[in-house]
Amino acid sequence: MRSIFAKLTIWFFATLAVSFAAFMVTNIWFTPRPADPRLMFMGLHQLELDTAVEAYQQGGKAELRAYLDKLDRYMTPGHYLLDANNRDILTGEDRSRQKAAARPRSPQQAFTSADGRFTMISTAPPRPDPLSFLPYFSWIAILVALMAWVFARHLAKPLRELRETVRSFGAGELSMRTRSRRHDELGDLARDFDTMADRLETLLTAERRLLQDISHELRSPLTRLSLAVQMGRTDTAKQDIARLSELISELTDMTRAEGDPSQRPTDPIDLSAMLKEIQASFDLDASIPEGLHCQGRAVLLRRAIENVVQNAVRHTVGGGRVVLQAEAAEAGITIRVRDFGPGVPEAMLAEIFRPFFRVQADRSRDSGGVGLGLAIAQRAIRLHHGSLSARNAQPGLEVTFTLPH
């Protein structure tokens, strides 16, 4: 606040000084002026001189004195009429020095008649003392400082609030937001911070939960493994080792897909060909049009689709079929995988995309996987700027991929 206030005050004063200077310069340059500044007062001087000469010629010195007294009284003291020899007509004093001192801008002014017989000397009023403007300028200074202060407060308050929020957020209070309602750039900044904070909070919370899930998932096979080793049961040990290494490679895949830029979508993919290969290897019912293409990483995309197909195959009961269906539309490519199994309880439809989430029945089932398949698929599809969703098709589950062309 202090430094913003100081800067603003200096800035305001500088602006004021510059605008004053600019005003003066413009004024001097653009105001039409007579070639000789005396011209402005020429008429007045001429009139004074004519009247004085007239008074002198008609009423002699008495008349002249009366007229000059009047001038001294009404204008400024110091009016004299001189003859051709620069002598004061009233007193006879030599006033050639005063006449010589007369300059266009000096207080002494001299005006000589056309025939050169008379000269009128007058004294201009004293120039105003520049210090007399001081009270006026101090008023302006106080007002400017006040305005700078108000403006500085207006700027500094939201900045201070933003700073406090950023600090608390940095200290770990992930729920801190500015919730600014300002419409200026400071408001934009605050809102951008809020958006960033939202994203960071989601990410950090998700990563934290993932870590908890991972340690939880690792614990049971490890316990079983150590028991199996103690009891010398190689089969169980082998099974658990296989499960652990599967878990670890899936986790690595999931993390790598997001973190490694080289895994980002780049290559052109012949989607029709890929889907046909999947159809063949899983023996699916399918409708796949020719000529489906998209951009991306073929390996990631294939694993994503295969993960979903594997789920469908696993959950299909009693010789039911799994249907793979693809189509291209304006908005993008849609791929649907549908089975005729039990589906997923409606409340858990969004949950199945979470890492390690499994519907209760699948936790106890031997066939159950790690619970990472859909999470990995979803991350892969998001990397391709697409989306993944699931709905109960009654019977069975239908999982839909959408991908941009």
In whole angstroms, how close is the CB of 330 to ligand ATP at the nearest point?
29
Question: Per-residue x/- mask for Mg ion, residues 292 to 331, rule CB under 5 A?
Answer: -------------------x--------------------
Q: Tell me the closest approach of the beta carbon of residue 157 to ligand ATP, in angstroms.
A: 49
Q: Which residue, 13 or 357, has its beta carbon nearer to Mg ion?
A: 357
Binding interface with ligand ATP (CB under 6 A): 307, 311-312, 315, 339, 341-344, 352, 357-359, 362, 368-375, 397
* Using rule CB under 5 A, residue 355 touches Mg ion: no
Q: How far is the CB of 368 from ligand ATP (least distance, A)?
A: 5
Taking the complex as a whole, how short is the minimal distance between the CB of residue 289 and Mg ion, in angstroms?
A: 27
Q: In whole angstroms, what is the distance from residue 148 CA to residue 184 CA?
A: 18
Beta-carbon count within 10 A of 303 CB: 19
Q: List CB contacts of 45: < 8 A, sequence separation 6 or more.
A: 38, 109, 111, 120, 122
CA atoms within 13 A on the CB side of 247: 23
Q: Is 89 or 324 the residue whose CB approaches ligand ATP more closely?
A: 324
Sheet of 397-403: strands edge to edge? 285-287, 323-328, 333-338, 397-403, 387-392
In the complex with ligand ATP, which residue's Cβ is closer, 225 or 375?
A: 375
CB of residue 332 to Mg ion, shortest distance in Å: 24
Query: What's the min distance (Å) between Cβ of 228 and Mg ion?
Result: 25
User: Which partner, ligand ATP, Mg ion, none, binds residue 271 by CB below 5 to 8 Å per kind?
Assistant: none
Q: Which of 378, 370, 368 is CA-nearest to residue 400?
A: 378
**Member of 221, 341, 369, 396 binding Mg ion (CB under 5 A):** 369
Q: How far apart are CA 405 and CA 403, in angstroms?
A: 6
Stretch that binds Mg ion, among 65-73, 117-125, 175-183, 364-372 (CB under 5 A): 364-372
Q: Please give the structure tokens belonging to residue 351.
A: 């949950």
* Alpha-carbon gap, residue 108 to 330, rounded angstroms: 93
CB 333 within 8 A of CB 388: no
Q: Which is nearer to ligand ATP, 198 or 258 (CB)?
A: 258
Closest chain position to ligand ATP (CB) = 369
Answer whether the bond into residue 395 is a cis peptide, omega within 30°.
yes
Nearer to ligand ATP, 13 or 282 (CB): 282
Residue with smaller CB distance to Mg ion, 112 or 311: 311
Dihedral pair phi/psi, residue 117, rounded to 5°: -85, -30
* Residue 386 touches which member of Mg ion, ligand ATP, none, C-beta under 5-8 Å by kind: none
Cβ closest to Mg ion, residue 165 vs residue 311: 311
Task: Provide the residue type at 247 as one letter.
Answer: L
Taking CB under 5 A as the criterion, the residue among 373, 377, 378, 379 binding Mg ion is: 373
Sequence length of the chain is 405
Distance in Å, CB of 341 to Mg ion, minimum: 13
Helix (H) or strand (E) run with residue 287 in it: strand 285-287
Q: What is the largest CA-CA distance in the chain?
A: 149
- Residue 341's binding partner out of ligand ATP, Mg ion, none, with CB under 5 to 8 Å set by partner kind: ligand ATP
Q: Which residue is nearest to Mg ion (CB)?
A: 373
* DSSP states of 80-130: EEE-TTSBBTTT--B-HHHHHH--TTSSEEEEE-TTSS-EEEEEPPPPPPG
In the complex with Mg ion, which residue's Cβ is closer, 12 or 357? 357
The residues binding Mg ion (CB under 5 A) are 311, 369, 373
